[in-house]
Amino acid sequence: MQANTYQDWTLSTAIYPKAGTGEDAELTYLALGLNGEAGEVADKVKKHLRDGKTLDIGGIIYELGDVCWYVARMAEALGYELEDVLTINYSKLESRKSRDVLTGSGDTR
């Protein structure tokens, strides 16, 4: 599936207040949802480490799909296509890699 096709489809499943408006209420909802889904991914890894049980890969993949949904919706709410977000991130990381500054902190390295 193409990233922008997926992003376009997400609106058909967006049943939250102000969906598709880009208003603050939508951005807030999406930011909270993104954080919650990322937390669910982290929680599955935490439980694996804590309990020593087999890693729930299928569960993590399901949660990563939810993370992608929120990323796609957030990009749309901000006026960006998902493929543009991926291209921007790719360019940023390639630049850091070529300058040997992948490690460290700060957005402007």
Whether 108 has a pLDDT exceeding 90, the answer reads no
pLDDT digits 0-9 by tens, 47-88: 999 999 899 999 999 999 999 999 999 999 999 999 999 999
The percent of residues in the chain predicted with pLDDT above 70, rounded, is 100
Domain that holds residue 73: 3-82
pTM of the predicted model, to two decimals? 0.93
Angstrom CA distances, 49 to 38, 52, 55, 57, stand at 17, 5, 8, 13
Mean of pLDDT over the chain? 96
Asked if residues 33 and 10 have their Cβ atoms less than 8 Å apart, the reply is: no
Secondary structure percentages of the chain, helix, strand, coil, to 5: 70, 0, 30
Query: Is position 15 within any domain?
Result: yes
CATH number at residue 23: 1.10.287
Query: Is position 88 within any domain?
Result: no
What is the number of domains present in the chain? 1
Query: Is position 99 within any domain?
Result: no
